Amino acid sequence: RDLNDDMLGWKVRAALRAGNTPRWSVVESTIGHMSAEARRDPTWVYWLARALQARRPTTPALNQEATSLLESIAGPRGFYEQLALEALGQSIVLPDRPAAPTPDEMAVARANPSLRRGLHAIAIGLRPEGVREWNYGTNLVNAQGQAGRMTDRELLAAAHWACEQQVWDRCINTMDRARQEFDAELLFPMPHKSAVLQRTREIGLDTAYVYGLIRQESRFIMDARSSVGASGLMQVMPATAKWTARKIGLTHFTLDQLNQRDTNIAIGTGYLKLVLDNFEGSQALAAAAYNAGPSRSRRWRNGPVLEGAIWAENVPFNETRDYVKKVLSNATAYAALISGQPQSLKSRLGQVGPRDAAAQPDNAELP
């Protein structure tokens, strides 16, 4: 009664990871005590539906309520949206591309003063100012300069223009604002495709996984730099870069090379491959380790063997929990785009638990 939504969320997470079987009755009752706003979050919509499906004895009314909840969030774009599709018995398939923007629609986008100022500011190195200007143009005014969000078609044209200019972060974020009609190839672009493909094939990494991680790390901004010093497309930390360069035989490496595309990709993928191998191929554990460090991922895997989605939801750091979910759902979408085949996020997540006794020893020197 006295718990806020954040506390109730942790109560749900604890119930989900309670031993071999989640405490579904606690999940259901706890979500029921959340605010109306919190209950609309796809996270809790999904887990409430799962709790209703687990209730015994089941009834047609319960099943219909669970189905309605899942249908309300199901889609190919986000973590719980993808899982809801699978809970409904569907695979993750990206929609057909919408009709390309017409010349008139593109002309309107290119004439938009806010978009023009935004791209110009980004081009001359004023990225924060340019991003604010661009966001103002796409989110607060429509193509005619009047108050109100752009329509999906207007957003599509703006995203096309951003991609043409190779301003990938604005391309992605603009397309992500579309409510109904979106172009998956703009939402999940694949810049530097030849370099990424060549490198992932060389070292045996899943290309979709790498793209999913880069999209989350840097939005493909070549000179991205975080507040803690991570650099480039794959946001590699200086100490990690030096260690990995030695491990992969990259001679004469200097830190200023991290902003070079091929070097950043070589080091980032080299490190990711070492991490993934250390965590027995678990993409969820490796993503958590890439974000928060291998030592934390090692600790977080201890406990019962969990369904991957339950483990991901129980990652204790808010940033890392969000990161793992986004990298894995991104990777699933990229896999659908690259292969043209239906995909499963649930299979990609797998199960997460303690290291198997038969597995290779833990690589304790991983930074």
Residues belonging to the active site: 217
Task: Take residue 350 and report the two structure tokens written for it.
Answer: 């797998």
Q: How far apart are CA 274 and CA 289, in angstroms?
A: 11
Query: What is d(CA 80, CA 5) in angstroms, rounded to the nearest whole number?
Result: 19
- The Cα 187–Cα 170 span in angstroms is 10
Tokens representing 70?
């899942």
The H or E element that residue 214 is part of is helix 207-218
CA distances to 4, 81, 214, 247 from 12, in Å? 12, 19, 31, 42
Q: What is the greatest pairwise CA distance in the chain?
A: 67
207 closest CA partner among 232, 235, 188, 222: 188
Contact (Cβ atoms closer than 8 angstroms) between residue 62 and residue 51: no
Alpha-carbon span 76 to 184, nearest angstrom = 9
Distance CA 198, CA 305 (A): 35
**4 CB-side CA count, 13 A:** 1
List the beta strands (DSSP E) in the chain: 306-307, 351-352
What's the full length of the chain, in residues? Answer: 367
Pair of tokens at residue 190? 């694949």
User: Which of 101, 105, 138, 146 minimizes the C-alpha distance to 119?
Assistant: 138
Provide CB contacts within 8 A for 240, sequence distance 6+.
271, 367
